[in-house]
Structure formats: C-alpha cells, structure tokens
Amino acid sequence: MVSTILPLTMTNVAVRRRGKRLLGPVDLEVGGLGLTIIIGPNGSGKTTLLRAMHGVERLSAGAVRWSVSEEEARHRQAYVFQTPIMLRRSVADNLRYPLQLLGAPRAEVSRRVNDWLARIGLEERASLQATRLSGGEKQRLAVARALIRRPDVLFLDEPCANLDGASTRAIEALLRTALDEKTRIIMTTHDLGQARRLASDAIFMLHGMVHETGAAERFFGTPRTDELQAFFRGDIIA
C-alpha cells in the first residue's frame, strides 16, 4: 500500500447509555506497526473502546479520526467479533465474498481464496457450508475473511475466547503472518499469556478509562499503577 490510514486519533471520546458512562473521556493515538493488546477486568470498556475505534459504536462526545477520509478508512479496516459470524454459504464463498465486493478480477479472487484455504487448513472443507464448521474453524475462517482484503488495520474482539490450545495457536499464527505483511492489529483479550506473547504495546482499561499504556516490555515488566499491578496478580479490582 502506498499510504496508510494511520494514525488513529481519539479526542475526548465518550460513550454513554441510559445515563451510564461506558467509556471515556478517552484521548489516544495509535500508529505505526505492530499489535496493540487491550486488557482489563470484565466491564472495563475494552470492547466499547474497540468498537469506538472501528466506528461502529455511537459516540456521546468526542471524535475518532484517521489520516484519510472516514469513507476511505472504513474500506481499509476490518473487524472480527468474539463470536464469529458466518455467511450461510460455503467456506470458499465466505472468503470469496469480500473480494467480490471489492470488484477483484475473477482470476485473482480464485488465487487468493485458494491461498487462504491453504493457510487456514480448510482446503478439504471448501465446499462445506460454513455454519457447519467447529468453533475453532469458524474463527480461523472469520480471521481469514477479514485478512483476505489486506486491510491496513484489523480489529479483533477476544478472538480466542472459548477455543482450545490448538485453535488458539492457529489463530495466533495467522496474526503473526498478518503482522509480517504489515497489517496493524488492535485486539482485546482476557488471556494474559496471549497478551504477553503477541503485544508490541498494550492498553489497560479500568472503569471505562484508559488507565495505563505502554510498550509491551515495560507494560508487562514494570507496570506503573497499583491497579495494573493488582490486575496482573489476579486481584479483584473494584
């Protein structure tokens, strides 16, 4: 890609529902390459922050801006939900669909679909309806369907929740390949082991606020706040 949609800049972003503050105010900038992990207790605002970044969460205040127009940014990012959404089509057609929307030439579509079927180990299931896949297979397909478009930025909400070790390793391998191919990744996780394995930088959410940020080595090695230290110990944070 000639240019990137980054940096992503959030200014005074807040989300409120029925008088309750779910997020913010948040001032944050994400740029460069790598993988940003968002961690925090349940209900801390991780998913709301991710959705606000992606532009699918209605903001009560503030703004989210990219280095390009909102329309262009929307077409150059992708989002994978915690529970993968499968089109009621074959596995191959799930991969083919986003490329067809982009108007890619038929030969290129065929080549890229076959490449991604091999990457996720689903060549022999290409004609199977995607809804019949196992949970781990569905998540691999969902990640592949997002990455086949070659987005600048990929958002992932707990992509390995409820998956076994083998499926988690497969997802992480896909993400490492995506990083090698210069896709910027921002993801939430409850798995601190996974966070340490993948993160180049991290964000700690608490009570809807960005409580601490930093490069991975410092963030996990020498947390600055008592709350993040307590979270790493496994304490309950009120």
Give residue 162's pLDDT band: very low, low, confident or very high (50, 70, 90).
Answer: confident
Average pLDDT over residues 165-175: 96
Instruction: Note the pLDDT of residue 3.
Output: 76
Model confidence at 118: pLDDT above 60: yes
Beta bridge partners of 202: 37, 214
CA distance 36 to 214: 10
Is 230 in a helix, a strand, or coil? helix
φ/ψ (deg, to 5) at 45? 110, 10
Percent of the chain with pLDDT over 90: 97
- Per-residue pLDDT tens digits for 66-85: 999 999 999 999 999 999 99
Instruction: Note the pLDDT of residue 66.
Output: 97
CB 77 within 8 A of CB 5: yes
Model confidence at 64: pLDDT above 80: yes
- The whole-chain average pLDDT of the chain stands at 96
Quote the tokens at residue 143: 């990640």
pTM of the model: 0.95
Average pLDDT over residues 150-155: 97
Domains identified in the chain and CATH numbers: 8-85+151-233 (3.40.50.300), 87-132 (no CATH)
Average pLDDT over residues 30-50: 97
Average pLDDT over residues 156-178: 95
Average pLDDT over residues 34-42: 97
Sheet with 8-17, strands from edge to edge, namely: 20-30, 8-17, 61-65
Instruction: Note the pLDDT of residue 1.
Output: 43
Give residue 98's pLDDT band: very low, low, confident or very high (50, 70, 90).
Answer: very high
Model confidence at 238: pLDDT above 80: no
